[in-house]
Structure formats: C-alpha cells, structure tokens
Amino acid sequence: MEYTVFTVLTSLLATEDNKFISAKIEELENQINLNEVERQIITDIKYNLQLGQAPSVAYIKQKYSYADTNVLGVVITRDAIDSAIRSIIISQSQAQLKKDLVTLGSVANNLTPEELKIKINSLLENKILTSHTAIPKNNLKAMPDPYNQLQQRSVEGLSIISRRIEAHAGKAAAGTIISILGFAGSFKSTFALQTAYENAMAGKNVLYIALESTAEALINKLVLCHIASTSNNRKDLINNSWVRDRKLTPEQQEFYNNKYHELLNKISNRLIIWDEKDIVYNTFLDMNDTLKKANDLFKETTGSELDAIVLDQLALLKFTAAGGKRYNSVTDLLNDWVSYFRKQSLNFLDSGRQITIFLVSQINRESYLEASKPKKKGRYDITCASDANEIERASETMITLYKDLDTANTLLINIPKARSGDVPDNPLQFEVYGEYSYIGSLNISGEGITADDFSKDIISLESLINAG
C-alpha cells in the first residue's frame, strides 16, 4: 500500500509512547514536505504533548476526518513506522524528480552547455539518485611506491589502553569494531571509558554513548581516572566512595576541581559523553541523526570530524525498533545493531570515511563459569558473547575482561580474536583499581611499582593453574 503522513501520525498516536511520538514527529518535520493540514495536525499533537499526553487516535480522526478519508481504518505497526516514513520520503523524492525532469526538458534548448551541466548536477542531489550514480573506483591499481602509498592512505589506529594489548591485537584501526566483553563486575565500562580518555588526550575525537550509566557518573569516573593517571603521590588519589558519600575534605575538593579543569583543558572538546536522556536512538535513522549531531559538534569545536564511537552497552539496545522490521528474537535485533555499527565503521554516515567502533557487551554465564575454573582462569573463547553472535563475525578484535577474585587488584585480559595480530597463550595480567576508575599500574613514586614491573608477570598465570 501507499503510506500517507496522516496514516503515520495516527499510527504513532496508537503507540501511546510520548517520547517515541515526539521523536518521530521531529523526523517527519525535518525529512518530509508537509501540507498545511499535516502541519496543523502535528501542531495539535505537539501542543497536547506539552500538556503531558498525546491526543487519542479517535480525537485526531474525528477532528481531521477530511484529511485522508481513504485510510481512516489503516494502522501501521510500530515496527513498520520507520519503513513507512522512508516510503513517503522516496515517494516525494520520485515526484520531485519527475517534476524537475519535465521542467528541465522544457527549457533545455534555451540553456548553454554550462547552464545545462549545473541543472543536471542539481538533479543529482535528489535522494533517489544520491550515492547511486558513480561507479566505484578499483582500489587495486598500479602504484610506483606501493608500500609508502598504502601507508599514507592508512590512518594511524587508536590506542587500546596498553602496549601489551596492542602487541597482540595492534591498534584499533579505522573501519573496524573492537569488542570489549566481560561478565558483570569485570570493569567493562572502566576499560571503555579509559580507552575513550586516552584517545581523546591523544587528539582523537571520541563519542561515548552511555546507555548503562548517567553522564554525570561517568564524568566523575573520568576525573578519578585522570587523577590516577597523572598523580605520583598516593595521597592525591581520590576514592570513588568518598565522592559518593560526600566525604572529600575542602583540600580534596579543591584538588578535584583543579583536576577537572585540567582534564577539560587537555581534552579540549575531543570527548563527547551523551547518555540516554541526551539522545534518541530507537531506530537506525534516530542513531544516524545522533551520530550526525556529534560529528557536526566535533567539526564546530575541534575543526575535525568524529574518529571513534564507544557504545556502552549493546544489550540496552534490545528495547529499540532497530531497523524497523519484525525480529524473531532479541538476539536477531541486536545482531542487526551490530551490523549497523559495522557499516558505520566502514562508511560513516555514507560519507566514504571510516571510523573505529568500540562495542561493550556482556559475556554469557556458561562462558564465565568455564573461565572461572582454576585451569582456565580468564580464558574466554570467541563464542563467549551473550548479546549477539554477530559480534564474533563483525569484530576485528575481541577483548575479554575477567576479574580475578583470588588475587587483589588483578584483571585478566584475554584476546580470543585478533584478525590483524595473534592470540596470546595466556591472558594478560593487569592491575585494576575500581575505586580510582583506573586500569594499569599506578605511577606512585617511592613504591617501586611500574608498568614494566607488572608486565613481567611476577604472579604468573601458570602458578595459578598449578595451584588449582
């Protein structure tokens, strides 16, 4: 059937979800040419939303019964609304293209070759033709100095916290997904946030999408991470529980504030943290809009575009409509989201530019129990992801985190998949300080502990295995 704006609006109201209705109405206003009646209906709906409740379907159908009498009984399911909107956009674009072609045909004989070229180029901006007119170039071509030319074309990858991890996996290259996986309490968000922090400090533009925590909570952890990363005196470290319980002394409060401003100055707008109250992400179109806003903000504040996205975490997208089709299971829906982010990494917002995606996800209970056995401590394999099996296929690198309960401040990091590297024989041991939101050795002077010391695996994994 041919969808109409009126049908979409009444179907939106049938969902009785104010947030969803508001987001989709904004989408209609931005992407569709509305007539006067359609604009009046939207104004009516928005007015009622401001009062706290959208009008009923019956109210709108009765008040505007003259608007579209042929479809008064038609209701589009919530999952199909995105497809209906796209159908209307395509229909309007087709109609506009036909009109423009007729107009061009009527005046073509009176135009100079240059004027005709300009008119034809303007037609190519039509949504029906965009991105589908040019034949892609063959990337396999003759080059006088292949090695250096290929190196110039490749962008230096992003940091993954430690050179020990990068020795196996390499850096996080543009055009790839890096999965960060762990069971509950394995410091997944700490790892993800520290990855965002270190790359932003290195001049990369990173968007952190926080679906599991508030932006305020993450910003506090970011400050504590910065303090732990830059301080060389243990008395300077600030425990997260002290902040939570409001136990900081006036001196500590001043130090915290100074470090916050120092962090802000050093990052210089290169890290955006948005939580679910800041964005709309129910569908792929919603997420596209969010990513475009982030990219535009980076261009405005830093002069360069977005380099990486951290999604924390995948499982919380299970309540969305994703691609707008009917999914047989939550796994199918999340698989579709993984495919969506893979496409974004390879062709960000259809711009031809590649970015890096850091995807935070959960490990299934069976894999956790297996990796908790003494002789398999921290050894996850590539089938460990619980949220979506597409993670295994789409990820360039899979990084798993296991909090060793038998050894204080020890995190076992395994790399079960490294497409551009190698898988370590044993999980790598790292210090972890959850109270300071920091992974790695503390640079505390006088204590004789450095990152090099810890990388020697003084407490070897083999000794843990043999002890079991």
Picking from 56-60, 76-80, 110-114, which range would have the lowest pLDDT averaged per residue?
A: 110-114
| Higher local confidence (pLDDT), 51 or 325 | 51
**pLDDT of res. 461:** 52
3-state class percentages of the chain: helix first, strand second, coil last, to nearest 5: 50, 15, 35
pLDDT, mean of residues 280-294: 90
Q: Are residues 176 and 278 in the same domain?
A: yes
Say yes or no: 295 and 232 in one domain. Answer: yes
- 141 within domain boundaries: no
Q: Among the listed ranges 49-53, 77-81, 159-163, 354-358, which one has the minimum average pLDDT value?
A: 77-81
For β-strands 271-275 and 206-210, DSSP reports them as: parallel
In a domain, 157, yes or no: no
pLDDT band of 377, cuts 50, 70, 90: very high
Q: How far apart are CA 413 and CA 167, in angstroms?
A: 13
Looking at the structure, do residues 210 and 68 belong to the same domain, yes or no?
no
Neighbours of 76 (CB within 10 A): 21
> What is the span of the domain harbouring residue 43?
5-123
Out of 29-33, 187-191, 285-289, 452-456, pick the least confident.
Answer: 452-456
Record the tokens describing residue 192, joined without a space.
Answer: 């993800």
**352 closest CA partner among 59, 153, 150:** 153
Q: What angle do CA 32, 35, 38 make, to 5 degrees?
A: 85
pLDDT at 462 (0 to 100): 52
Whichever domain contains 330, its CATH number is 3.40.50.300
Q: Is residue 139 part of a domain?
A: no
Could you tell me if 212 and 189 are in contact, meaning their C-beta atoms sit under 8 angstroms apart? yes
392: in domain = yes
Domain for residue 288, yes or no?
Answer: yes
Q: Is the pLDDT confidence value at 246 over 90?
A: yes
Question: Could you please report the per-residue DSSP string of 224-274?
Answer: HHHHHHH--SGGG---HHHHHTT---HHHHHHHHHHHHHHHHHHTT-EEEE
Specify if 400 maps to a domain: yes
Check residue 332 and give its pLDDT. 92
CA distances from 410 to 264, 454, 461, 468 (A): 30, 10, 11, 17
Peptide bond into 313 cis (omega under 30): yes
Residue 112 sits in the same domain as residue 205: no
Query: For the chain, what is the domain count?
Result: 2
Instruction: Please name which of 261, 226, 230 lies closest in space to residue 444, comparing C-alpha atoms.
Output: 230
Structural domain contains residue 227: yes
What value does the mean pLDDT of the chain take?
87
Residues 119 and 205 in one domain: no
Instruction: Decide which of 92, 123, 154 is a domain's last residue.
Output: 123
> What's the whole-model pTM score?
0.68
